[in-house]
Amino acid sequence: MATQVGRLRIYFVTWNVATKHPEQGLHPLLNVMHGNNKSPPDLYFIGLQEVKAQPQNMVLDIFCEDPWTKSFRDVLKEHDYVKIRTQRLQGLVLNVFCLRKHITHLRLVEAQYTKTGFGGMWGNKGAVSIRLNIYGVNICVVNTHLTPHDHLLADRIADYNTILKNHTFTAPDTPNILFHDYVFWIGDLNFRLNGEDLTASDIDLLVKKNQLNLLLERDQLKMVMNNEDAFAELNENDITFPPTYKYEFASQEFDLKRRPSWTDRILYTINVDVYNDVTLSAVQLNYKSHSNYVQSDHKPVTGEFDVTVRPNVEDHGVEFQAVTEWFIDEENSVQYKCIGDVRPASRDWVGLFPNQFSSLDDYIEYEYVERGRTGTTAAVEQPQSITGRIFFSDTALRIPGMYCLVYVAQRGDLIGILGASPPFPGHRRPF
């Protein structure tokens, strides 16, 4: 089946939450207020830093959703988004949410991390990333927390180059971050303002006079980009908002014990001419901070982009036979058919989900495809169409409701969502 999408809208959030728990409503930050008639983003990437991560909870954190991820999910599920993946490294968290209508077009989703703290031994600083393919293009998003403090510029440069060198993927053709069609680099990059002659009070006064350009001339990140020491491969749109750090807690006033600076950034790059059928482009629609969020000493920053995808790309997948109903406390099954060049693999699985699931972790039960009965059938459009039947045990369905089935391709660290069934009822068999 070929797509006619053309462009996708992607919304980014980066926020150092200073180990606090969610307190303020997240609807304005995500721009999903009621009455907003704007077309919704197709994807959200939400990067957080300093999410509370206590050493005794680190194993538990791997398996449990942190409070921030849960809070963002609770908001976005109201608007038909599904959480596809979370990647966490201690206090660093990156989530990707996708509009439900797009999820069966996601391929080769992979997450990685790189530690840079204490010479690469500790994950208090570093990077987490998620890469994916959608509608014929690939996207990589990197969320980083780099070395702090004004005088440790060389360490931030080293962090960036370490991440570029050590951060690798198994997805075909994109072993490195910068090999992707679209790269977005977000996070608390911790770059400060050069010049000991510039005091915190001086910066505060210039911000109040809206003379941001005088300050941005001293911005360390812009300097290292211009000198090609770090981030030279990436671009950043003009900054029109005040420094995002450091604020007094519960306030919109700077904490002048630190010199204010733009630590929280959204950068990007595009490999423009990689396909014959399209020239890739990314148009940034906005880039702003949100001063009304006061629970952290950082202000969150958001950016929204329209990106080009490839026209008429064939998305081969899996088609489920229509399910009329399933019965509680009985063995149930479903037949599926592979479309195009899709071939089942031993770790592929079919999950039973509540119909309005909001995360791939919401499955009730799953069965590996290898446990199903597969075969080939002749078809007019495909001489050898692979079919299979998956059986679920009599304990899978326990309560009445509406359900759906999702086929997930698992190839090592890579996942893809190849198909989803229409919703169907589950109930007790009438006697």
Report the candidate in 108, 105, 139 with the shortest Cα–Cα distance to residue 418. Answer: 105
Region class of 207: left (phi > 0), else alpha (psi between -120 and 50), else beta: alpha
319-335 confidence digits (pLDDT tens):
999 999 999 999 999 99
Report the candidate in 93, 307, 65 with the shortest Cα–Cα distance to residue 182. Answer: 307
The pLDDT profile of the chain, 431 residues, written as one tens digit per residue, is: 445 568 999 999 999 999 999 999 999 999 997 767 788 999 999 999 999 976 545 555 556 799 999 999 999 999 999 999 999 999 999 999 999 999 999 999 999 999 997 665 555 799 999 999 999 999 999 999 999 999 999 999 999 999 999 999 999 999 999 999 999 999 999 999 998 899 999 999 999 999 999 999 999 999 999 999 999 999 999 999 999 999 999 999 999 999 999 999 999 999 999 999 899 999 999 999 999 999 999 999 999 999 999 988 888 999 999 999 999 999 999 999 999 989 999 899 999 999 999 999 999 999 999 865 544 444 444 446 789 999 999 999 999 999 999 999 999 999 999 999 999 999 998 87
Contact (Cβ atoms closer than 8 angstroms) between residue 146 and residue 189 = yes
129-151 confidence digits (pLDDT tens):
999 999 999 999 999 999 999 99
For the full predicted model, state whether its pTM sits above 0.85: yes
Distance between CA atoms of residues 14 and 297, nearest Å: 13
- The half-sphere exposure of 161 on its side-chain side, counting CA atoms within 13 A, is 12
pLDDT value for 57: 53
Number of helical (H) and strand (E) elements in the chain, helices listed first: 7, 21
- Determine the distance from the C-alpha atom of residue 430 to the mean position of all C-alpha atoms in its chain, rounded to a whole number: 44
Please report where in the chains the tokens 């304990």 appear, as a residue.
395
Distance between CA atoms of residues 26 and 28, nearest Å: 6
362 Cβ partners below 8 Å, 6+ apart?
Answer: 353, 354
